[in-house]
Amino acid sequence: MQATWHLPNGKTVTAEVKPGLNLMEAAVANNIPNVIGECGGSLSCATCHVVVDPAWTTRVGRPSTFEDDMLDVTDADRQPTSRLSCQIKMTEALDGIILHVPG
């Protein structure tokens, strides 16, 4: 399965992602700039903020209440489709997902 990150500099990175792995772990493993994952995926920071491409928002789903609150403290401006990538697990339904990394 694959995920693609669109970077602030206009470049893209596409990588293989194992099912069940969260997209923050996949981003860190693939050296995606600006996706840090400081808390290791424990939902206690907002350093893995990404913007889900609008074509994928229905399949990804909405953030939990706590994630929604955490999105209010991201370094980059929050967008309508912002998510914390530690809260998105790769599944077959997300194969090919496109994420935008804020600058």
The pLDDT of residue 42 is 84
CB neighbourhood size of 60 (10 A): 20
The pLDDT of residue 44 is 86
The pLDDT of residue 41 is 84
Domains of the chain: 2-100 (3.10.20.30)
The pLDDT of residue 10 is 96
| Residues 102/49, Cβ–Cβ less than 8 Å | yes
pLDDT by residue (tens digit) across 27-63?
999 999 999 988 888 888 899 999 999 999 999 999 9
Q: Which of 6, 16, 13, 27 is nearest to 95 (CA)?
A: 16
Q: Can you give the pTM of this predicted structure?
A: 0.94
